[in-house]
């Protein structure tokens, strides 16, 4: 019993000595080094493009769409989803709920005198569209500083083994009051009798060549157009 007591006292003394030797110093290492000390994820060698490509492999795409010109007064806006089969519109729907269609959002700033949070409003600078591929469907989420809406399903019409769907974007997206401005298309490949398989080629930026854009949409048997409309 005496030996056990002496051992216990010795452990306490050792812990006390260690505690007294603890030194504190601010960790100035970059955050990525702190979180990946052994460079397991090779953060320094991975670019933003690499990250976006990895997301695409996982079936996720992100589209950042600025409002241009920037808003200077209050408007309402809507996001339209039009479906086309053989170049004919067969369906149209508003996929942004009306209460999220205001181009303003609120934020709070602490008042230095009253020490209370004061609510202010500003204009929404952009919206972001996320897509998640689920084989036979695509699920969209639309987000901006005023809120978000998700669970928007787009159905694919897969009838061939090598058929696939692809995103294409417009670079000229300046909004005009009371007009629908196309932002993105999601289009099916088409069967090419000459090469005996599906293909999807042509213009990447749909704003650069109107003729080639029309050709792409004429060839695609099934596609969707996402458009923006701003109105008072």
pLDDT digit string (tens) for 74-120?
999 999 999 999 999 999 999 986 567 889 998 888 877 777 888 89
% of residues, the chain, pLDDT over 70: 89
**Angstrom distance (rounded) from CA 35 to CA 31:** 6
- Looking at residue 171, its pLDDT comes to 95
Which of 166, 172, 175 minimizes the C-alpha distance to 124?
175
Name residues of the chain where pLDDT drops below 70: 1-21, 97-99
Which of 227, 229, 228, 225 minimizes the C-alpha distance to 88?
225
Which token pair is 208?
A: 């650069």
Instruction: Identify the helix (H) or strand (E) that includes residue 77.
Output: strand 76-85
User: Where does the chain have alpha helices with state H?
Assistant: 2-20, 31-35, 48-57, 210-219
C-alpha 222: how far from chain center? 24
Q: Is the model's pTM score more than 0.85?
A: no
Strand partners, 148: 143
């Amino acid at each position: 019993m005496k030996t056990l007591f002496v051992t216990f006292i010795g452990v306490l003394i050792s812990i006390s000595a260690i505690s007294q030797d603890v030194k504190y110093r601010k960790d100035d290492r970059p955050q990525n080094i702190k979180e990946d000390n052994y460079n397991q994820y090779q953060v320094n060698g991975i670019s933003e493009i690499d990250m976006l490509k990895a997301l695409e492999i996982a079936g996720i795409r992100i589209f950042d769409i600025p409002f241009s010109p920037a808003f200077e007064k209050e408007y309402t806006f809507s996001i339209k989803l039009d479906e086309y089969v053989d170049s004919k519109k067969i369906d149209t729907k508003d996929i942004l709920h009306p209460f999220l269609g205001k181009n303003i959002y609120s934020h709070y700033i602490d008042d230095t005198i009253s020490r209370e949070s004061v609510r202010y409003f500003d204009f929404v600078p952009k919206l972001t569209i996320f897509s998640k591929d689920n084989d036979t469907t695509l699920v969209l989420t639309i987000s901006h500083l005023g809120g978000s809406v998700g669970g928007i399903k787009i159905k694919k019409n897969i009838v061939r083994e090598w058929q696939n769907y692809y995103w294409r974007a417009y670079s000229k997206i300046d909004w005009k009051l009371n007009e629908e401005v196309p932002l993105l298309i999601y289009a099916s490949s088409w069967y090419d009798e000459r090469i005996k398989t599906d293909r999807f080629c042509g213009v990447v930026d749909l704003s650069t060549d109107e003729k080639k854009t029309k050709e792409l949409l004429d060839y695609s048997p099934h596609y969707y157009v996402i458009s923006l409309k701003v109105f008072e």
